[in-house]
Amino acid sequence: MERKRTKDSEPGPVPLLVPVDRFGFLKQEHGSSPQRFTKTKSSINYEKEEKRVTKWRKMIGTGGSDWKHYVRRKPHVVKRRVRKGIPDCLRGLVWQLISGSRDLLLMNPGVYVQLVIYETSASELDIIRDISRTFPSHVFFQKRHGPGQRSLYNVLKAYSVYDRDVGYVQGMGFIAGLLLLYMSEEDAFWLLVALLKGAVHSPIEGLYQAGLPLVQQYLLQFDQLVRELMPKLGEHFTQEMINPSMYASQWFITVFSYSLPFHSALRIWDVFLAEGVKIVFKVGLALLKHCHDDLLKLPFEELMHALRNFPEDAMDPDTLLPLAYSIKVSKRLEEMKQDCDKAVAKPTQTAKSVRQ
């Protein structure tokens, strides 16, 4: 017997509504995703938030027209407000302003479209393979070949063409994915360029170049800072044969967008774009400092688990960031960088002397 056809006017099956948090991530009762501790709307003081938004709107002006003037006049006010957290409704625009990417966009009209439509990349298959691994629990990126995945592909492909020396590395997906949640494809692309090429702060393209040279440098520096600031913990890590490459690589490669709850990662990104990579060192050290006494008691396997699964209170930005701000690393990082530069330059000078 032929099945009765459903009329076009009849509604089809109603899709199940999946509960999501205020950032668009699927709510999970259990699990270890970075979103499991994301705060809900009910926890926000709306009146206080509205006042913050008003202050920020006055500070940046229409479309960011007053931003540079305000930064020049009151840099300390800007720094303080950024550290308190950029209002989420303004985050995309402010990120573009503080990173210098808005200027890059205006100076390069049509370049992004050219890269996406008319150029080909050797990394296209790698990008396609990895796309589904980027924020898989976010509604924007969940649908296979959906708008989120298409936008992510376009941004990553465009960058791999724009900078063929770097091309594409898997960790870049989380950076681009985070940006796409707050801005258009083209805006996200130019912010990625601003970060990797160093429009405002030191370039971080070395995080993704062959051999990950900047990752290696940062991990060595981080290890040294742990030993200097927390000598007992540094010694315990040595005894248990644990080094930062075993737990901290993703902190630097994704700037905590993969490792921490999303609302915490956003607060870190606010400061990262404004002040540079030193905040990654500060936050990493703050996590260890917060859990210092507990970590000292753990043997290897439990220690590794703890370093990849910090307790909720340690990852709360209102606890974590003030502790991070109290840790001073800028001067020491600069000293270590100079030592590293000298060590790299010395063999080159020796080789020249031999040839002469």
Tokens of 67: 């931003």
Distance (Å, whole) CA 166 – CA 127: 13
Cross-strand partners of 25 = 138
User: What is the pTM (predicted TM-score) of this model?
Assistant: 0.88
Say what the pLDDT of residue 322 is: 97
Beta-carbon neighbour count of residue 282 at 10 Å?
Answer: 24
Q: CATH number for the 104-200 domain, one of 3.30.450.40, 1.10.10.10, 3.40.190.10, 1.10.8.270?
A: 1.10.8.270
pLDDT in 10s for each residue of the chain, 356 residues: 444 444 444 444 445 567 888 898 988 643 444 554 444 444 557 888 899 999 999 999 998 899 999 999 999 999 999 999 999 999 999 999 999 999 999 999 999 999 999 999 999 999 999 999 999 999 999 999 899 999 999 999 999 999 999 999 988 999 999 999 999 999 999 999 999 999 999 999 999 999 999 999 999 999 999 999 999 999 999 999 999 999 999 999 999 999 999 999 999 999 999 999 999 999 999 999 999 999 999 999 999 999 999 999 999 999 999 999 999 998 898 888 888 777 766 655 544 554 55
Residue 144 to residues 19, 25, 27, 170, 294, Cα–Cα distance (Å): 19, 16, 20, 18, 42
Q: Tell which CATH architecture fits domain 213-339.
A: Orthogonal Bundle (1.10)
- Is residue 215 within 8 Å of 277, Cβ to Cβ? no
Say what the pLDDT of residue 107 is: 96
Nearest of 27, 77, 29, 25 to residue 55 by alpha carbon: 77
The region that residue 145 occupies, defined by phi over 0 for left and psi between -120 and 50 for alpha, beta otherwise, is: left
Beta-carbon neighbour count of residue 262 at 10 Å?
Answer: 26
Could you state, in order of their start, the residue ranges of all structural domains in the chain?
104-200, 213-339
